[in-house]
Chain A
Amino acid sequence: DIVLTQSPALAVSLGQRATISCRASQSVSISRYNLMHWYQQKPGQQPKLLIYRASNLASGIPARFSGSGSGTDFTLTINPVQADDIATYYCQQSRESPPTFGGGTKLELK
């Protein structure tokens, strides 16, 4: 299985930029498609798709969220961070079955 590694937590100040990283144990890119996706989960709620295929904003997601990366290294950026963004963020690959998730990065206020 492809293993996705995320830092457990990140502390940021409101209004600043947050950069959340995800590293895959092998490439999750096929040709021009980067098969990495990002989800947000707030406490007590279900996850929500933020970004698909590394850099595409899902429907209804604010433009302060963006994604980048290819191969094995991917980044989710939130700029500027708002209070409503405090949550846990998961990366997920769909390059190979089984699809796997990272362990999650908890975004906290500094």
Chain B
Amino acid sequence: EVQLVESGGGLVQPGRSMKLSCAASGFTFSSFPMAWVRQAPTKGLEWVATISTSGGSTYYRDSVKGRFTISRDNAKSTLYLQMNSLRSEDTATYYCTRERAPIAAISYVMDAWGQGASVTVSS
């Protein structure tokens, strides 16, 4: 069974940093691109970032470019999201997701989701 378990969320002050982790199991982690998707309270879904299978290619939405860094450790089957210079508008539940990848290419189709990690940016 595919499992994605996020950790590292909580309350953080504006301008500070936070790092989310996502432990993956039940599939060959290194064969799938991975992504983070967020959802602000009572709002819709918003793609944040994607990383290729090797970690050599990363993609970000404009509003987080230069502030967030997505990375992965294939040996540990773990995905990360380093978030710096946090703003109130980054407050959301952050979902770790696996991208559907029949040929290991980036698809931007999320076929497995974690339960989410809540991040609140407030003073």
Q: Which residues of A contact B (CB under 8 A)?
A: 37, 39, 41, 46-49, 52-53, 58-59, 90, 92, 94, 97-104
Contact = CB atoms under 8 A, between A and B. Distances in A.
A37 B114 CA distance: 18
Given A52-B109, A97-B59, 12 more contacts: A46-B115, A47-B113, A48-B113, A49-B111, A49-B112, A90-B44, A92-B45, A94-B107, A98-B61, A99-B47, A100-B47, A104-B45
B89 interface: no
A46 B116 contact: yes
The A interface, classified by DSSP as helix, strand, loop or mixed, is loop
11 contacts: A37-B109, A39-B45, A46-B113, A46-B116, A49-B112, A52-B109, A53-B109, A59-B111, A97-B108, A98-B62, A102-B44
B32 interface: no
A15 B95 CA distance: 33
Interface residues of B, number: 20
Contacts of B110: 39, 47, 49
Given A46-B114, A49-B100, A101 B46 contact: yes
A101 B97 CA distance: 15
B22 to A, nearest CB: 12
Contacts of B113: 46-48
B64 to A, nearest CB: 10
